[in-house]
């Protein structure tokens, strides 16, 4: 008798419960470089793979996902507000130094202006500056030189208006070579500072 | 050498605004945007640090964008509720997991280093489904249930 009542009450609750799921839509979009990835949409153990640009999975009334193909224009219009709120893409820049100094090469001076333009576009940039050296000199010397280069870059950024607390620096010495060389080989491309902006 | 270590330590201390449990940062905040944290509703502004378990809430006029430490980018449009359920990222190995949950509204996702290192390590839940992210960009919309 008790079980019957529970079953009856259960049935009534299910019948009276409103449809508690709103409609859902998932759309795969190409990245800024045109690359199309993949997203697996799983509902009630049923998996749907989206791997074409603007392929979409739509769930209506809590039913099974239906795959459809949307147009780029419709998607860009429908999702305009959320797309415009995406933060700027993280970017990485390299500047190079004259041998055994924290002086920029002439080309890097010019590159630096581009980096500043990029930073000014971002509301509140986070910057990570990592200094490197080539293999001329011992580890201790190069650790010091790489940090000095990073400090030099931070100084330039601060003087151009980036708040100091937004910049983290590190010196990696000769541990992370861009071009592998034997010890004591001068290599301009290893004498660099990475500026990661996000 | 000791002097340089001291400088490095000071440099880290100076950036003490960032805490170990910060997992991301608000980069875009337009209109009404709040973060719900430990039962408190905090107004969100550009620069605010995001932590695991935070809920990002936008009003009818609101939208917000967050950059996470693995370079994942998430943004929400108006009338949205997004929960950062779980976030872990090892900046040395790039291993990590990212679980987010969109309760309602719209979401844009650009996956980062976590997914690059381990495709599928990022999941986005909605009331009806769960998305396994293999990379890199997708959009989600969750309508409010019909009354």
Find residues 12-31 of chain A whose CB sits inside 8 Å of chain B: 18-31
Rama region for A161: left / alpha / beta (φ>0; ψ in -120 to 50; rest): left
Tokens of A122: 């971002």
Residue A112 confidence (pLDDT) above 60: yes
Any A CB within 8 A of B108 CB: yes
Q: Which residue has the tokens 């592998």?
A: A180
The residues near B39 (Cβ < 8 Å, ≥ 6 apart) are: none
Best to test chain B binding among A21, A67, A87 (most B CBs inside 10 Å): A87
Any B CB within 8 A of A124 CB: yes
pLDDT for res B23? 94
Q: How far apart are CA A78 and CA A72, in angstroms?
A: 10
Find residues 114-143 of chain B whose CB sits inside 8 Å of chain A: 120, 126-143
Tokens of B76: 């929400």
Q: How far apart are CA B13 and CA B26, in angstroms?
A: 22
Best to test chain B binding among A17, A28, A39 (most B CBs inside 10 Å): A39
CB contact under 8 A, B137 and A88: no
The DSSP code sequence of A56-120 is EEEE-TT---EEEE--HHHHHHHTHHHHHTSPPPPEEEEEEB-TTSSPBPHHHHHHHHHHHHHHH
Angle between helices A139-159 and A106-121 (to 10 degrees): 50
pLDDT for res B72? 96
Total count of residues recorded for chain B: 147
Q: Give A113→chain B minimum CA distance, Å.
A: 23
pLDDT tens series, chain B, 147 aa:
445 444 444 444 433 345 667 899 999 999 999 999 999 999 999 989 999 999 999 999 999 999 999 999 999 999 999 999 999 999 888 899 999 999 999 999 999 999 999 999 999 999 999 999 998 999 999 999 876
């Amino acid at each position: 008798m008790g079980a019957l009542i529970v079953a009856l009450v259960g049935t009534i609750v299910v019948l009276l419960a409103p449809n508690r799921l709103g409609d859902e839509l998932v759309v795969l979009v190409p990245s800024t470089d045109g690359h199309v990835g993949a997203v697996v949409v799983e509902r009630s153990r049923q998996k749907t793979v989206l791997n074409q640009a603007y392929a979409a999975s739509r769930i209506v009334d809590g039913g099974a996902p239906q795959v459809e193909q949307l147009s780029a224009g419709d998607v860009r219009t429908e999702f305009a507000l959320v797309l415009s709120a995406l933060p700027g893409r993280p970017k990485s820049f390299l500047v190079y130094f004259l041998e055994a100094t924290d002086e920029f090469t002439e080309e890097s001076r010019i590159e630096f202006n581009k980096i500043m333009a990029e930073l000014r576009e971002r509301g509140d940039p986070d910057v990570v500056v990592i200094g490197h050296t080539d293999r001329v000199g011992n580890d201790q010397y190069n650790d010091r030189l790489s940090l000095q280069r990073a400090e030099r870059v931070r100084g330039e950024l601060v003087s151009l208006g980036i708040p100091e607390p937004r910049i983290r620096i590190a010196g990696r010495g000769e541990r992370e070579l861009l071009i592998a060389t034997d010890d004591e080989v001068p290599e301009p491309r290893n004498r660099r500072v990475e500026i990661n902006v996000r | 050498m000791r002097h340089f270590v001291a400088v490095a330590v000071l440099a880290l201390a100076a950036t003490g605004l960032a805490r170990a449990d910060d997992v991301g940062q608000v980069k875009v905040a337009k209109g009404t945007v709040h973060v719900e944290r430990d039962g408190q509703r905090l107004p969100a502004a550009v620069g605010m640090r995001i932590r695991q378990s935070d809920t990002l809430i936008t009003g009818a006029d609101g939208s917000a964008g967050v950059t996470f430490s693995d370079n994942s980018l998430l943004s929400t449009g108006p009338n949205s509720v997004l929960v950062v359920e779980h976030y872990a990222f090892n900046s040395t190995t790039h291993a990590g997991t990212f679980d987010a949950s969109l309760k309602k509204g719209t979401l844009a996702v650009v996956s980062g280093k976590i997914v690059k290192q381990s495709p599928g390590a990022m999941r986005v839940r909605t009331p009806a489904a769960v998305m396994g992210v293999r990379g890199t960009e997708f959009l989600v919309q969750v309508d409010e249930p019909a009354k």
